[in-house]
């Protein structure tokens, strides 16, 4: 995770984005994002009365997925799995840093 992801995650922690806002932030077409949302590949997103809302965590997940798909020509399902694993590794590393003596 780079500095921009940390900053973006902090800013968006309590915010919700529309499909169009999230697509713009990911530099993807809304159709790309919508396809992955309807397939259930992006957690922390919800559809309310047919309108998608994405949390900051969903945005970071989508950005990570897009990079994996683009850089490795991965299918969306594989990109989602790798993004999940990378996020779990980030959480575990954060827990380890908390446990390490100062």
Strand partners, 51: 48
- Tell me: the pLDDT tens digits for 26-84? 999 999 999 999 999 999 999 999 999 999 999 999 999 999 999 999 999 999 999 99
Full domain range(s) for residue 75: 3-85
In the chain, count H helices and then E strands.
5, 3
Residue 91 lies in a domain: no
Tally of domains in the chain? 1
In 1-102, DSSP assigns E strands to 16-18, 45-48, 51-55
Residue 97 lies in a domain: no
Residue 27 lies in a domain: yes
CATH number of the domain to which 53 belongs: 1.10.1660.10
Residue 25 lies in a domain: yes
Q: Is the pTM of this model over 0.75?
A: yes
Residue 44 lies in a domain: yes
């Amino acid at each position: 995770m780079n500095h921009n992801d940390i900053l973006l995650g902090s800013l968006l922690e309590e915010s919700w984005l529309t499909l169009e806002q999230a697509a713009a932030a990911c530099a993807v077409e809304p159709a790309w994002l919508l396809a992955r949302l309807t397939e259930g590949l992006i957690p922390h997103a919800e559809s309310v009365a047919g309108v998608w809302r994405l949390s900051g965590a969903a945005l970071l997940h989508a950005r990570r997925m897009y990079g994996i798909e683009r850089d490795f020509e991965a299918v969306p399902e594989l990109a989602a799995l790798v993004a999940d694993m990378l996020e779990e590794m980030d959480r575990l590393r954060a827990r380890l840093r908390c446990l390490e003596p100062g």
